[in-house]
């Protein structure tokens, strides 16, 4: 599992470790790792033009000491001071190795730019002079390597309140920072390289975690020799309508492909006909009234995709949520809940899977605010609503009150197409029916859904049905250790 920490957590661990080591040891370890990554990126170091953007803090010192090492290997290294202060010992070592202080014009011709403007303790937007350097670096032809976190990105949240460096590679020291895993900060970080400087034993419980394929493999339910279709989990799906039949087909497909022993579908005539045609494996019940009394026993429900938002849909939602099994609520189900919060007053677990607009309606916030501060609003929703929240988007995050937020690291931009969220509902709902908690079902469901999207796309457009079809391949990849 990849774990990440806030700036305060990292600084606390650094202070504890520095008390045990000679002064400057951590900076030298960081500079060694930074220089090694830069050298690999350059390929041939000798004769290459490297420019350091040097702030007044320790990140500037890391950049100067890394520049010293590159200069000793024959690179032509210049440092652009961003303010009136500079790390004196680092500057002395840098100059002794042949490095020079240069003006900002050198940025434009650099083969490599090292961003050491601000460190993890910086908050708020970059001040104007720093913002100008960041903009010039972003526009230059050279690759940018950020020290610890791209300048302008909040290390603890991933928020980007103003201008920010857009790095090709971020070399982060000691542990991942939360802001490197969550958009919009993650989009500025590029590839993240972690340098071990010895913080491990001094780190607290993580702020954020990201599951690996191995983690998902350990969590996924596996059928035993004595399993039958009922023991493998029965998923109920209350989705679709005469107008939106496809949502029912996709949610049922996701549930079947993710390993449920049985999927029971309950819906209106037109949706039932489509589910029967696409998924003869599903057990279907045509509803003539908004009740699920005759559907049969299930271990979990998926509620909402394509259901509609009229009185009939509201009554059906109320009946599903009156059950005693876990319920995943998506799409139209979320609109119904946003109108009537009393639907969430139940004793059994609830997992909601909104996008930013749906979450905005649920917690009375602005969509843009949610997009810019995904962690903050997902945590707020989990605490305020008393549910597990899977917030979909460029960074999918899973929050449950009093637990670390989980960030999903799989996916593809091609997943931004209609119907893929319905498949995700079916996948996560299937895992709920198989016995996973909301927290684990959401996390594993997002991982498998993202991986299936990546496998299905292969760098080309896809449809939601393609994603559902690729879910078994994603499970095989996780099980075989290739994900």
Q: Among residues 249, 310, 305, which one has the least CA distance to residue 281?
A: 249
Say if residue 124 carries a ligand binding annotation: yes
Say if residue 217 carries a ligand binding annotation: no
Say if residue 393 carries a ligand binding annotation: yes
Say if residue 40 carries a ligand binding annotation: no
Cis peptide before 24 (omega within 30 of 0): no
Say if residue 59 carries a ligand binding annotation: yes
> What is the distance between the alpha carbons of residues 303 and 428, in angstroms, rounded to a whole number?
12
Q: Among residues 357, 361, 395, which one has the least CA distance to residue 375?
A: 395
> What is the distance between the alpha carbons of residues 110 and 137, in angstroms, rounded to a whole number?
9
Say if residue 369 carries a ligand binding annotation: no
Say if residue 242 carries a ligand binding annotation: no
Say if residue 422 carries a ligand binding annotation: yes
Say if residue 421 carries a ligand binding annotation: yes
> What is the distance between the alpha carbons of residues 179 and 188, in angstroms, rounded to a whole number?
10
Say if residue 459 carries a ligand binding annotation: no
Say if residue 6 carries a ligand binding annotation: no
Phi and psi dihedrals of 311, rounded to 5? -60, -40
Would you tell me how many other CB atoms lie within 10 Å of the CB of residue 162? 13
Say if residue 65 carries a ligand binding annotation: no
Q: How far is CA 259 from CA 47, 349, 419, 472, in A?
A: 57, 21, 20, 8
Say if residue 121 carries a ligand binding annotation: yes
Say if residue 120 carries a ligand binding annotation: yes
Say if residue 481 carries a ligand binding annotation: no
Say if residue 430 carries a ligand binding annotation: no
| Strand order, beta sheet including 76-81 | 100-101, 76-81, 49-54, 112-116, 143-147, 169-173, 191-195
Q: Among residues 339, 343, 373, which one has the least CA distance to residue 356?
A: 373
Say if residue 60 carries a ligand binding annotation: yes
Say if residue 172 carries a ligand binding annotation: no
Say if residue 151 carries a ligand binding annotation: yes
Q: Which residues are annotated as a binding site for AMP?
A: 392-396, 421
Residues making up the binding site: 58-62, 115, 119-125, 130, 148, 151, 247, 306, 355, 392-396, 421-422
Q: Which residues make up each annotated binding site for K(+)? A: 59, 115, 151
Annotated binding site for (6S)-NADPHX: 58-62, 119-125, 130, 148, 247, 306, 355, 422
């Amino acid at each position: 599992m990849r774990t990440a920490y806030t700036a305060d957590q990292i600084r606390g661990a650094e202070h504890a470790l520095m008390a045990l080591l000679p002064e400057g040891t951590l900076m030298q370890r960081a500079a060694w790792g930074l220089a090694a990554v830069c050298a690999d990126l350059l390929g041939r170091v000798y004769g290459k033009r490297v420019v350091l953007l040097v702030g007044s803090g320790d990140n500037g010192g890391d950049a100067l000491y890394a520049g010293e090492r590159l200069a000793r290997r024959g690179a032509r290294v210049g440092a652009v001071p961003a303010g009136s202060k500079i790390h004196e010992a680092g500057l002395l070592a840098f100059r002794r190795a042949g490095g020079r202080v240069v003006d900002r014009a050198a940025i434009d011709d650099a083969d490599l730019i090292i961003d050491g403007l601000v460190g993890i303790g910086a908050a708020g937007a970059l001040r104007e002079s720093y913002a100008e350097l960041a903009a010039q670096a972003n526009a230059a032809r050279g690759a940018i390597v950020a020290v610890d976190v791209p300048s302008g990105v909040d290390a603890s949240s991933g928020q980007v309140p103003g201008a920010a460096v857009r790095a090709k590679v971020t070399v982060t020291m000691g542990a991942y920072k939360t802001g490197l895993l969550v958009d919009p900060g993650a989009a500025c970080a590029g590839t993240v390289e972690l340098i071990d400087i010895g913080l491990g034993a001094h780190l607290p419980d993580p702020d954020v975690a990201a599951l690996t394929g191995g983690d998902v493999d350990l969590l996924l339910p596996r059928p035993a020799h004595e399993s039958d279709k009922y023991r493998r989990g029965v998923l109920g799906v209350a989705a679709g309508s005469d107008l939106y039949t496809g949502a029912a087909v996709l949610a049922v497909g996701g549930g079947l492909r993710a390993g449920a022993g049985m999927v029971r579908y309950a819906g209106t005539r037109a949706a039932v006909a489509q589910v029967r045609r696409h998924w003869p494996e599903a057990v279907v019940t045509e509803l003539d009234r908004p009740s699920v009394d005759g559907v049969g026993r299930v271990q979990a429900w998926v509620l909402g995709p394509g259901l509609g938002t009229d009185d009939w849909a509201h009554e059906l939602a109320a009946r599903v949520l009156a059950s005693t099994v876990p319920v995943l609520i998506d799409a139209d189900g979320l609109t119904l809940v946003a109108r009537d919060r009393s639907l969430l007053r139940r004793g059994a677990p609830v997992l909601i899977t909104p996008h930013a607009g749906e979450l905005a309606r649920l917690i009375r916030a602005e969509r843009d605010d949610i997009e810019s501060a995904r962690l903050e609003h997902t945590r707020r929703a989990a605490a305020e609503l008393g549910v597990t929240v899977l917030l979909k988007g460029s960074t999918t995050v899973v929050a449950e009150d009093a637990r670390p937020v989980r960030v999903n690291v799989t996916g593809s931009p091609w997943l931004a197409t209609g119907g893929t969220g319905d498949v995700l509902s079916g996948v996560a709902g299937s895992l709920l029916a198989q016995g996973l908690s909301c927290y684990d079902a959401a996390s594993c469901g997002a991982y498998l859904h993202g991986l299936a999207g990546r496998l299905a796309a292969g760098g080309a457009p896809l449809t939601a049905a393609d994603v559902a079809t690729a879910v078994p391949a994603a499970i095989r990849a996780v099980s075989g250790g290739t994900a």
